[in-house]
Amino acid sequence: METIQQRFAVTFSYPVIFTQQLFDPQNPKLRDFLSQYGERDFRKKIFFCIDSGVLAAHPTLQSQITHYFESVPTLSLVPEWLVIPGGEAAKNAPALFDQIVEAVDQYGIDRHSFVAAIGGGAVLDLVGYAAAVSHRGVKHIRIPTTVLSQNDSGVGVKNGINYRGKKNFLGTFAPPVAVFNDTAFLRTLDDRDWRSGISEAIKVALIKDKVFFEWLEANAKALAQRDEAAMQYLIHRCAELHMQHISGGDPFESGSARPLDFGHWAAHKLEYLTHFEVRHGEAVAIGIALDTYYSQLTGRLSETDTQRVIQVLHELGFKLYHPALAEQDSVHLINGLREFQEHLGGRLTITLLDAIGVGVEVHEMDTVLIQKAVVVLQGETV
Amino acid sequence: METIQQRFAVTFSYPVIFTQQLFDPQNPKLRDFLSQYGERDFRKKIFFCIDSGVLAAHPTLQSQITHYFESVPTLSLVPEWLVIPGGEAAKNAPALFDQIVEAVDQYGIDRHSFVAAIGGGAVLDLVGYAAAVSHRGVKHIRIPTTVLSQNDSGVGVKNGINYRGKKNFLGTFAPPVAVFNDTAFLRTLDDRDWRSGISEAIKVALIKDKVFFEWLEANAKALAQRDEAAMQYLIHRCAELHMQHISGGDPFESGSARPLDFGHWAAHKLEYLTHFEVRHGEAVAIGIALDTYYSQLTGRLSETDTQRVIQVLHELGFKLYHPALAEQDSVHLINGLREFQEHLGGRLTITLLDAIGVGVEVHEMDTVLIQKAVVVLQGETV
């Protein structure tokens, strides 16, 4: 009998919409999206999962949402909410995953209805995963509330939870149906979270877009002083570059195409070594500094370019060293290389810099030079 | 700030390969597939999950596999196996899901390595789900061992497990990288399982392919007598029609395109009402008979065509009635309509017949006529 060859393409499409005060009754963006999405001959539901940290900073959020949906008569707002503790803890608790699945069942959310998540990256990752596997995928809307989730994780196609301490061990590639980036949420971030997400913009600029890096240099002071207009531009451009990388490559990473992970091998390990006391964006800033010095030490990157990178990180207020980097002569840190390879599978692939705006992939790293780069970083801390 | 519109297509491709004695060292099919798949510059692993029922019928299977992989030096066979109890029970035990995820972790199966499942539809569904969400998807190979899984569920793109009694409540759309249909496994099936999967071939013929239905009529006796050549043709043609439906439509069912589910609303409910004592294919045969009579009672289908359908089901040895259909004046059965709608979401959509080979979708059913069709079926049982 002859082999039957199956072959088909699935098209994914979603907007990332920028707005202010998403739930202001005067703001039509969410209402318009929902009323135009999908088929109109039956009544859809929408169920909200909200980050506890966001709710604490925006105590009237639930009543705003309730009020907003009074003007959307074509949709049923589920009158209950799931409030989910924010931060990495959200991804370590299988019970939270169960709660979301339970809610999908209890409130009769079907494959044409919506589960919306409002929160930081961890809450979005958890809710996105639960939505993706319930009924083999209910429609998912992301409303990221941090710089990091608005410019990076929240606009991409991944979700996931940790499994017995292994980061993102369970998850899927499942694009949302829409992302709403609401600037108003950024105002209540603490300074660490405001700064944190900026490192992903530096990352993508360094490997892809010199002009954007120059913009970051010119605006570092304004960003450090919480200039909202500058932050809006940063988020928009970073999200755009991130999304172009996904659509231009291998969106579901079925081959060996790499995600945008410059500076990330060390960042993941540092988060873990510090029990996530160092936040993701902070760890990425350190990882960028480390791999930038490493790029210089291996003769790829000029002294001038190296100093520009370090300078912009300093101006933004990032700390570029943590004692965990040097523990046991950096052996813990260097173990992170193998773990990074294991998670992505296949050959070790690390992005370095040939110049500002020019990333390059390598397949091995010299441990002595990594140790040296750590020592240089240590010297940077005054 | 302007909306960023994301849009990309992901291409999925996999062969369904027909063979005999897959693990005979002389059979190059699996070896060839594995050595040609993906990138070649690192050593991949393969981990097997095996249906306990298959292992009982093929006690030398593990040693055959071990021996086979001695001739595949480019690949590492994980020397441990996971033996999974076959049948619907496999999908009701979250602990089995955990065991597979655990094994992926323990044996270091990364996104470029393979998890292979050998078994009936339930085991394939469970293993496929665990593989799809581990590391956001390790490569999955299906080796279906029943008629039903070789011609229908195993060649498609879905997986899933039950959640608190809700059928396939958790799952994904995740195509395998290859399917191997080995005829040798069919020889050890009991008569019920041999017959069971034939109902999916009747289903797809009735709604899509009159010529195939005529072939089924002509070969019903041979099939009932376990003619292997006839069964091979049936499986190949049914798999082909099933796969064409997927690739020609909406493979991941993101809109309202329907899966191939003629006869299935009643079948799902009947399986549930009988605690899965009635097997899926047996229930589908009854569901087909019910919706065929219903099509006649509503004036769509001619008396002659109706009798041809019933005749072929009889010749194959299917029972076309079960007392659970009539319980409480069929109220239990009729509840299945709403549950069927809820699982798929959106409007109720049921496939009926306008003629043999011509399916038609309707959006409501008349409960009185359903009750009447049940009474007709009851009269058929002599």
Q: What integer pLDDT is reported at residue A39 of this predicted model? A: 78
CB A88 within 8 A of CB A159: no
The CA distance from A125 to A127, in Å, is 6
Residue A167 pLDDT grade (very low, low, confident, very high; cuts 50, 70, 90): confident
The CA distance from A260 to A241, in Å, is 10
| Residue A359 CB coordination number (10 Å) | 19
| Residue B116 CB coordination number (10 Å) | 25
Whether A5 has its CB under 8 Å from any CB of chain B: the answer is: yes
User: How far, rounded to the nearest angstrom, does the alpha carbon of residue B272 sit from its chain's CA centroid?
Assistant: 17
Whether B33 has its CB under 8 Å from any CB of chain A: the answer is: no
Residue B344 pLDDT grade (very low, low, confident, very high; cuts 50, 70, 90): confident
Q: Is the pLDDT of residue B382 over 90?
A: no
Q: Is the pLDDT of residue A231 over 90?
A: yes
Q: Is the pLDDT of residue B155 over 90?
A: yes
Q: Which residues contact B332 (CB under 8 A, 6 or more apart)?
A: B269, B273, B324
Cβ contact B8–A246 (<8 Å): yes
Question: Taking residues A277-300, what's their average pLDDT?
Answer: 97
Question: Taking residues B233-258, what's their average pLDDT?
Answer: 91
Tokens of B204: 């797809």
Residue B222: φ, ψ to 5°:
-60, -45
Cβ contact A18–B3 (<8 Å): yes
Q: Is the pLDDT of residue A257 over 80?
A: no
Cβ contact B136–A163 (<8 Å): no
Q: Which domains does chain B have, with CATH numbers?
A: 16-188 (3.40.50.1970), 193-380 (1.20.1090.10)
The CA distance from B79 to A331, in Å, is 31
Q: What integer pLDDT is reported at residue B341 of this predicted model? A: 84
What's the mean per-residue pLDDT of chain B? 95
Whether A95 has its CB under 8 Å from any CB of chain B: the answer is: no
B309-315: long-range contacts (C-beta < 8 A, 24 or more apart)? B309/B202, B309/B206, B309/B353, B309/B356, B310/B380, B311/B217, B312/B202, B312/B213, B312/B216, B312/B217, B312/B220, B313/B199, B313/B202, B313/B285, B313/B288, B313/B289, B315/B220, B315/B221, B315/B224
Q: Is the pLDDT of residue B346 over 80?
A: no
Q: Where are the beta strands (DSSP E) in A113-244?
A: 114-119, 139-144, 161-163, 166-170, 178-182
Contacts of B136 in chain A (CB under 8 A): 158, 160, 168, 171-173, 252-253
Q: What integer pLDDT is reported at residue B38 of this predicted model? A: 85
The CA distance from A132 to B174, in Å, is 12
Residue B294 pLDDT grade (very low, low, confident, very high; cuts 50, 70, 90): very high
Residue A143: beta bridge partners?
A: A118
In angstroms, the separation between the Cα of residue A106 and the nearest Cα of chain B is 12
For an interface test with B, give the residue of A3, A7, A8, A181 to mutate (most B CBs within 10 A).
Answer: A8
Of the candidates A132, A168, A256, the beta carbon closest to that of B172 is on: A132
Q: What is the 3-state secondary structure (H, E, C) of B258-314?
A: CCCCCCHHHHHHHHHHCCCCCCHHHHHHHHHHHHHHHHHHCCCCCHHHHHHHHHHHH
Whether B96 has its CB under 8 Å from any CB of chain A: the answer is: no
Question: Taking residues B319-343, what's their average pLDDT?
Answer: 92
Structure ipTM:
0.95
pLDDT digits (tens, 9 = 90+) for B62-71: 999 999 999 8
Cβ contact A10–B5 (<8 Å): no
CB A23 within 8 A of CB A50: no
pLDDT digits (tens, 9 = 90+) for B28-84: 999 999 989 987 777 899 999 999 999 999 999 999 999 999 988 889 999 999 999
CB A293 within 8 A of CB A285: no
Closest to A20 in 3D by CA, of A135, A157, A200, A187? A187
Q: What integer pLDDT is reported at residue A381 of this predicted model? A: 63
Whether A151 has its CB under 8 Å from any CB of chain B: the answer is: no
CB B343 within 8 A of CB B167: yes
Tokens of A149: 């989730």
Going by the DSSP 8-state scheme, the letter that residue A257 receives in this structure is P
In angstroms, the separation between the Cα of residue A19 and the nearest Cα of chain B is 8
The CA distance from A84 to A121, in Å, is 12
Q: Is the pLDDT of residue B225 over 90?
A: yes
CB pairs under 8 A between A and B: 200
For β-strands A139-144 and A114-119, DSSP reports them as: parallel
Q: What integer pLDDT is reported at residue A160 of this predicted model? A: 97
Residue B206 pLDDT grade (very low, low, confident, very high; cuts 50, 70, 90): very high
Q: What is the phi-psi region of residue A118: left when phi exceeds 0, alpha when psi lies from -120 to 50, beta otherwise?
A: beta
Question: Taking residues A307-332, what's their average pLDDT?
Answer: 96
Residue B361: beta bridge partners?
A: B351
Of the candidates A133, A169, A343, the beta carbon closest to that of B171 is on: A133
Residue A47: φ, ψ to 5°:
-125, 130
Question: Taking residues A279-292, what's their average pLDDT?
Answer: 97
Whether B162 has its CB under 8 Å from any CB of chain A: the answer is: no
What percent of chain A lies above the pLDDT cut of 90? 87
Whether B187 has its CB under 8 Å from any CB of chain A: the answer is: no
Contacts of A342 in chain B (CB under 8 A): 108, 110
Whether A101 has its CB under 8 Å from any CB of chain B: the answer is: yes
Contacts of B38 in chain A (CB under 8 A): 255
Tokens of A354: 């040939």
B/e letters for A314-324, b = 16+ CB within 10 Å, e = fewer, are bebebebbbeb
pLDDT digits (tens, 9 = 90+) for A174-186: 999 999 999 999 9
pLDDT digits (tens, 9 = 90+) for A189-211: 999 999 999 999 999 999 999 99
Q: What integer pLDDT is reported at residue B363 of this predicted model? A: 93
**For the ranges A53-67, A74-88, A254-268, which has the lowest average pLDDT?**
A254-268
Question: Taking residues A95-113, what's their average pLDDT?
Answer: 94
CB A92 within 8 A of CB A162: yes
Question: Taking residues B260-266, what's their average pLDDT?
Answer: 94
Whether A11 has its CB under 8 Å from any CB of chain B: the answer is: yes
CB B270 within 8 A of CB B322: yes
Whether B287 has its CB under 8 Å from any CB of chain A: the answer is: no
For an interface test with B, give the residue of A2, A4, A37 to mutate (most B CBs within 10 A).
Answer: A4
Residue B381 pLDDT grade (very low, low, confident, very high; cuts 50, 70, 90): low
Residue B19 pLDDT grade (very low, low, confident, very high; cuts 50, 70, 90): very high
Residue A43 pLDDT grade (very low, low, confident, very high; cuts 50, 70, 90): confident
Contacts of B252 in chain A (CB under 8 A): 10, 136-137
The CA distance from A332 to B322, in Å, is 64
Of the candidates B1, B11, B346, the beta carbon closest to that of A112 is on: B346
Q: What integer pLDDT is reported at residue A166 of this predicted model? A: 83
**For the ranges A124-133, A254-263, A283-292, B218-227, which has the lowest average pLDDT?**
A254-263
Counting beta carbons within 10 angstroms of the beta carbon of residue A93, is it exposed (0 to 12), middle (13 to 18) or buried (19 or more)? middle
Question: Taking residues B98-114, what's their average pLDDT?
Answer: 94
Closest to B233 in 3D by CA, of B177, B312, B305, B150? B150
Q: Is the pLDDT of residue A382 over 80?
A: no
Cβ contact B105–A10 (<8 Å): no
CB A150 within 8 A of CB A111: no
Q: Where are the beta strands (DSSP E) in chain A?
A: 4-19, 44-51, 75-84, 114-119, 139-144, 161-163, 166-170, 178-182, 350-355, 358-362
Contacts of B170 in chain A (CB under 8 A): 101, 133-134
Whether A252 has its CB under 8 Å from any CB of chain B: the answer is: yes
Q: Is the pLDDT of residue B342 over 70?
A: yes
Closest to A136 in 3D by CA, of B257, B349, B160? B160
Q: Which residues contact B121 (CB under 8 A, 6 or more apart)?
A: B144, B146, B148, B149, B152, B153, B154, B280
What percent of chain A lies above the pLDDT cut of 70? 99
Counting beta carbons within 10 angstroms of the beta carbon of residue B249, is it exposed (0 to 12), middle (13 to 18) or buried (19 or more)? middle
Residue A351: beta bridge partners?
A: A361
Closest to B209 in 3D by CA, of B237, B189, B231? B237
Q: Which residues contact A195 (CB under 8 A, 6 or more apart)?
A: A147, A224, A281, A282, A316, A317, A318
Query: Rounded to 5 degrees, what angle do the CA atoms B262, B268, B269 make?
Result: 120
Q: Where are the beta strands (DSSP E) in chain B?
A: 4-19, 44-51, 75-84, 114-119, 139-144, 161-163, 166-170, 178-182, 350-355, 358-362
Whether A347 has its CB under 8 Å from any CB of chain B: the answer is: yes
Which element (helix H / strand E) includes A125? helix A121-133
In angstroms, the separation between the Cα of residue A131 and the nearest Cα of chain B is 10
Residue A340 pLDDT grade (very low, low, confident, very high; cuts 50, 70, 90): confident
Closest to B235 in 3D by CA, of B201, B276, B266? B201
Q: Is the pLDDT of residue A358 over 90?
A: yes
The CA distance from B178 to A207, in Å, is 36
With tokens 């939270």, the residue in question is A96
Closest to B207 in 3D by CA, of B363, B367, B16, B350? B350
The CA distance from A165 to B176, in Å, is 28
Q: What integer pLDDT is reported at residue A83 of this predicted model? A: 97
Whether A249 has its CB under 8 Å from any CB of chain B: the answer is: no
Going by the DSSP 8-state scheme, the letter that residue A326 receives in this structure is T
Closest to B2 in 3D by CA, of A150, A17, A297? A17
Q: What integer pLDDT is reported at residue A164 of this predicted model? A: 83
Q: Is the pLDDT of residue A346 over 80?
A: no
